[in-house]
Amino acid sequence: MNGEIIAFCCEHSAYVAADAAGKQGLHCPENLRIIRVPCAGRVDIIHILKAMEEGAAAVLVLGCEDGLCQHLTGNIRARERVNYSEMLLKEVGIDGRRVAMFNLAANAPHKFIQAVNEMNERMKELGEGK
């Protein structure tokens, strides 16, 4: 692995937004690897930690906007888990900023690109890989 950004994308929102970005020719960093999930609430802490273990530079969890989750709490839980993972990573000496959660809707490709770019910039600052 060479400093990839692993993004867990909710199939109701972020995954669709990622598709829309591609259709519109909005480019994003090539090191992005999308894993499709049925809801951001499916993403478990162990998935985030394993991604870091496998050498990811960063992990993104992308879910629906606050108040838009079809399962009411999926995105809220995901955010809590991301915050918790940040803490768990800090405990073992890894910068917690390598994990982040963003909310966006299916029709927001610009927001998707913005989130990925923001993370990519952050990685440049923190150094690729750990």
Partner 1 sequence: MQVKMGIFLCDCGGSLKNIDFPRIGGNLENLEDVAFVDISHNLCLGEGKKAMTSRILTENINRVVIAACSPEFCEGDFAVLLEKLRLNPNLLSLANIREQCSWAHEGDVSAKALALVMMAVDRARLLEPVETKEVAVKNEVLVVGGGFCGMKVSLELSQLGIRTTLMERESTLGGQIRELEGFYGPQREAMIKAVEKAETIEIITSAEVTGVEGKIGDFTVRIKKGKKKILRTFGAIVFATGYKTEVAAGDFPIKPGVNIISQQRLAQLLQAPTPEAKPETIGFIFDLFDENSRFPTLATLNGALAVKQRWGSEVYVFCKNVKVDSEGVEKLYREAREQGVVFFKFDEKPTISADDDRVKIEAKDVLLGEDVTLTCNLVVAEEKFLPSEGTEGLSSLLKIKTDSRGFYQEENVNIYPVSSERKGIFFIGNCRGDLGLGRVLTDIFSVVSRIRELLSPGVVEEVDRVKVDSQKCVACLTCIRVCPHSAAQLVQIDSEKVAADISQLACDRCGICAAVCPAKAIKFEGYSDEQILAQIEAIGAL
Partner 2 sequence: MIVAERKPMEEIIQMIAPYKKVLLAGCETCVAICWTGGEKEVGILASQLRLARSNNGGKIDIVEATVERQCEKEMVEELREKVDGVEAVLSLACGAGIQTMADVFEDKPVFPAVNTTFLGRPEGEGVWLENCGACGDCFLDRTGGICPMVRCAKGILNGPCGGTRKGGKCEVDPDKDCAWVLIYNRLKKQGRLDLMYKYYPPKNFRAVKRPGKMEAIKA
Partner 3 sequence: MKTNKSIVVIGGGIAGITSALELANGGSTVYLIEREAQIGGQAASFCCKATEVCSKCSVCLLPQRLSEVASHPQISILTNSTVTGVSGGLGNFQVEVEQKPQYISPQNCIACGMCVEVCPTTPKAIRPPSPEAVPYSYSIDESQCLRLKGERCNHCREVCPTDAIAFEHKLERQQLNAGAIIVATGFDVFNAREVGCLNYGRYPNVLTGLDLERIFRNQGSLKFSSNGKKPKKVAFIQCVGSRDENHGYCSQVCCKYAIRLARLIIYQNPDTEVTIFYIDLQTAGKGFAEFYKECQESIRFIRGVPIEILEAPSDRVEVRFENISEGRVERENFDLVTLSVGIAPREDSWELAKVLGMNLGDDGFFDTKEPFNSVETNVEGIFLAGACQGPKDIPDSIAHGISAAERAMEVLQRCK
- Could you tell which of partner 1, partner 3, partner 2, none binds residue 126, using a CB distance below 5 to 8 A set by kind? none
Order the strands of the 99-103 sheet from edge to edge: 32-37, 5-10, 58-63, 99-103
Our measurement of the distance from residue 122's CA atom to the centroid of its chain's CA atoms, rounded to an integer in Å, reads: 13
The conformational region for residue 72 under phi > 0 = left, psi -120 to 50 = alpha, else beta, is left
* 79 near partner 1 (CB under 8 A): no
Q: What is the binding site for partner 2 (CB under 8 A)? A: 44-46, 49-50, 52-53, 88-89, 91-94, 130
* 93 near partner 1 (CB under 8 A): no
Q: What is the binding site for partner 3 (CB under 8 A)? A: 12-13, 16, 19-20, 23-24, 64-68, 103-111, 113-114
